[in-house]
Amino acid sequence: MFFTIDPDNGLAIYDQILRQVKFAVASGALQPGQRVPSLQELATTLALNPNTVARAYRELQSEGILEMVRGIGLEISSKAVKRCQQDRDALIRERLRSVLLEARQSQLDDAELREMFDAEMTASKPKSGRK
């Protein structure tokens, strides 16, 4: 899998996994019916303790995103896509709102804020075509 974990993120590791699984489903990188890497596999790949991964997977199960198939492993549920797309939007919107709220309270003016946004947008733009 293609998860990137940053231990100093502020977010708990299990939460980063949780979010990234949701985001992968929302973007179609993970499809319903597809198996998710096993606990041990993901744990060793990311150099994490299996328990940490287990917690993320457990919560995804309780949200109905993942389904357990006895003796096989965990797979993406059919109803996961819609759910994950909603979640992705909500999760990002929530963080965005929180930042903007703080910016507003600090009297940062619109122009400056937009400027920051644009700067960070281009800065974070993935590598691509000619300039």
Partner DNA sequence: GTGGTCTAGACCACC
Partner DNA sequence: GTGGTCTAGACCACG
Binding site for a copy of itself (CB under 8 A): 4, 7, 9-10, 13, 19-20, 23-24, 26-29, 49, 59, 62, 70-71, 88-89, 92-93, 95-108, 110, 112-114, 116-117, 120-121, 123-126
Beta strand 66-69 with 73-76 is antiparallel
CB of 65 to DNA, least distance (A): 13
Determine the Cα–Cα distance for residues 12 and 20; give it in Å rounded to an integer: 12
Only segment of 22-30, 63-71, 97-105, 122-130 that touches DNA (CB under 7 A) = 63-71
Q: Are 74 and 67 in contact (CB under 8 A)?
A: yes
Assess 19 for contact with DNA (CB under 7 A).
no
Angle between helices 13-27 and 50-62 (to 10 degrees): 50
Assess 73 for contact with DNA (CB under 7 A).
yes
Residues in the chain: 131
Q: Are 76 and 34 in contact (CB under 8 A)?
A: yes
Q: Which residues of this chain interact with DNA, rule CB under 7 A?
A: 7, 11-15, 36, 38-41, 47-52, 54-55, 57-58, 61, 68, 70-74
